[in-house]
Structure 1
């Protein structure tokens, strides 16, 4: 397979990966609306304990996913990326079904940890698509992948809101497991990965981070991926309180907060593939730096809004800007690391994004509680601007 030409099955592989990524992300996020209720069903009655166990159960998956993403990436480099997708989809199908059978909160947290350990479908899909797609189409294809991931993040909580009242919480988990099993079947029978040459033990040892000759561009991409998730998640702990300060009618606070949370994801879905195409034409670094600076600029007026619609519109515009980052990050990494190490380094990129997903809410809650709501937006703006400057300094001059 030529790196320029990709494989003849790259389009079919892409759409199977988009479907699989969407379903697994939906499964990871659908429990957000009803997680406290499930914790209560499992025998926890104290209000503070319900909140703490809910937070532990939700964060558990992202913790183990961050820890094991580099390992799965390295194993994909050695044994094939399709094999990792089969492992992840089957593992997630089993884990999600077992979560629906939990008898206590310890089992719930343990199975959420297991789901993160066995998962990694979306990050593995990024690797397979990045390495099996023609170079000229890479950013567009990864933009479509990013749209699938963002759509999963948007649809998951919505599905989790209306499905449990219809079929029950436990059946919702079993239904999610069944859908992921469909993704397992399509992955197994429809994806065609180009045969990989066998690697010697010495080549395997020399792969990964050590094989990257110029680490500055790759390090810039790891930081960019972390900042992307941090910018999305830093507002999460404060959004309802912030909206209550600018909305007069208390009955509308949760509705507006829901729209604010969804606006950025919707913007990213709409822009990801288009910005990917733009990056294929005018250069990935230009799009990355422009997106970071645009996000930094859009965060400033969010600190001074006086109406709910203003915040929704600004979050939507910020989502449009952020949509170009994930595909460009993966593309730049692919172009700056040896092909045999792409999975390992993209696994590190996934871990850095999970770090942003964990640090963002923690930092947003701390800053908002100690320095006020506006400080969250302004502080995140400074970080995004610093990321844009670091990207400009780190970009290759050739």
Structure 2
């Protein structure tokens, strides 16, 4: 088996488990905080918000830092550090004596993360040009699918094995990811003994600043769209359901439907982007995703909502790999890790921002407006991408074709 394929398999497993580990806590968070001795309902809600968001804020801050370290010492050491560190920290959460220790461990989890950005950088730099789209498309399914399937997995483990088992099983899987990374990931990395650039100096050396910012914002909006429904999905499903039984499980499955579709479609759209251009996939995906959000506000039952969430997963599957492909193409090889770190920061901020935004919109205007406003964000982003990315790269492609022909 080729090295890039073996690395892809190992990284996919590690990123999937990391995604599950980050998101599986969502449906059990209030229950676990209550288990830790907090009885006041209002305080549970506040502490749940802090415990959920603090991890993503820490990840957004530290992701570029770990990206810089990956460019300096290699990507495999970063994979080993993150997988072993998270395995230990998440397992320790199951032994939390009180909610404050638990929140501290959530902060530490975000601080030592960086597995996903190191994986993306490793695959992007070591996969040949002909297979880059397929490899990054396949890899993107791991993190998104893990994040979207995590709530269902967490809810299932809670119902069958108990609250603490969620942390122990996730920690065990991350330790397996550490072992497989140690044994099977191969990296050809040559350390360059150059002055370590500051974040500002790194940004000053990025050649396509406007295009890079547009791609960061697109990745941010993608994650806002994916997670805007997370705080309201259980309430929305309860309004649509006739029976009150198993609401949390049905809500988890509904939320995760887009993750399943993502697993199916992302590798195919990654290959398609290699053929027709990643900029075209980004534009079409944004437009269709924006449209598909609108009918979700008018569904009459949970099956209709599940179906539309599945269609949403098919459309957004092309966004993450296409953004990563373009970032790889326009970024110097010596800066790839740090720029991917910035991009992952945008993703984590989008996850946090989407969760907060969805809850606030639902509280002030009603649940259905979450879908309308998210749709508007995607369509506005599509217009921006059309002028800043699509037209520019199409013109470059045309000029390249003319030069080859002459």
Where on the TM-score scale, by shorter chain, does this alignment land: which range?
over 0.9
Alpha-carbon shift at residue 208 of structure 1 (Å) = 2.6
Structure 1: give runs of 5+ residues left out of the alignment.
1-6
Within 5 A, what are the aligned runs for 1:251-330?
251=245, 254=248, 256-330=250-324
Deviation larger for 237-246 or 37-46: 237-246
Q: Deviations over 1:8-65 (max 9, x none)?
A: 5111111111111112222222223322222122221212222222222222211111
CA apart distance, 1:100:
1.7
Indicate if the aligned counterparts of 2:158 and 2:166 stay in contact, CA closer than 8 A: yes
The 5 Å alignment of 1:1-398 reads 9-164=3-158, 166-201=160-195, 208-251=202-245, 254=248, 256-395=250-389, 396=393, 397-398=395-396
Change (3 A) 1:242 1:178: closer
Maintained 8 Å contact 1:207/1:341: no
Distance 1:236 1:163 in 2: 19
Distance 1:210 1:298, change over 3 A: same
Q: 1:98 to 1:339 in 2, by over 3 A?
A: same
Query: Residue 82 and residue 140 in structure 1: after superposition, are their counterparts in 2 closer, same or farther (change >3 A)?
Result: same
**8 Å contact from structure 2 (residues 36, 98) kept in 1:** yes
The 1:140/1:250 distance shift into structure 2, 3 A limit, reads: same
Q: Which moved more, 1:162-171 or 1:33-42?
A: 162-171
| Contact persistence 2:286–2:379 (CA under 8 A) | yes
TM-score normalised to structure 1 length? 0.92
Q: State which drifts further: 383-392 or 159-168.
A: 159-168
Q: Given the two structures, how large is their TM-score scaled by the length of structure 2?
A: 0.91
Looking at structure 2, the residues matched to 110 and 255 of structure 1 have their Cα atoms a distance apart, in angstroms, of 28
User: Aligned partners of 2:365 and 2:199: how far apart in 1?
Assistant: 48
Change (3 A) 1:136 1:103: same
User: Is the Cα contact below 8 Å between 2:285 and 2:316 reproduced in 1?
Assistant: yes
In the aligned structure 1, how far is the partner of 2:241 from the partner of 2:8?
43
Contact 2:151-2:256 at 8 Å conserved across structures: no
User: Which consecutive residues of structure 2, in runs of 5 or more, have no partner in the other structure?
Assistant: 397-406
Deviation at 1:294, TM superposition (A): 0.5
**Distance change >3 Å, CA 207–CA 344, structure 1 → 2:** farther
Query: Secondary structure of 1:39's partner?
Result: helix
8 A contact 1:260–1:312 mirrored in 2:
yes
For residues 297 and 180 of structure 1, the distance between their equivalents in structure 2, rounded to whole angstroms, comes to: 37
Cα pair distance change 1:166/1:302, threshold 3 Å: closer
Residues 256-308 of structure 1, C-alpha deviation per residue, up to 9 Å, x if partnerless? 43332122111112111111011011100000000000111111222222333
Cα RMSD of the aligned pairs, angstroms, is 2.1
Could you tell me whether the CA contact under 8 Å between 1:74 and 1:208 is conserved in 2?
no
**Contact preservation (8 Å) 1:207, 1:340:** no
Residues 1:41 and 1:256: Cα distance change in structure 2 (over 3 Å): closer
Matched residues, number: 392
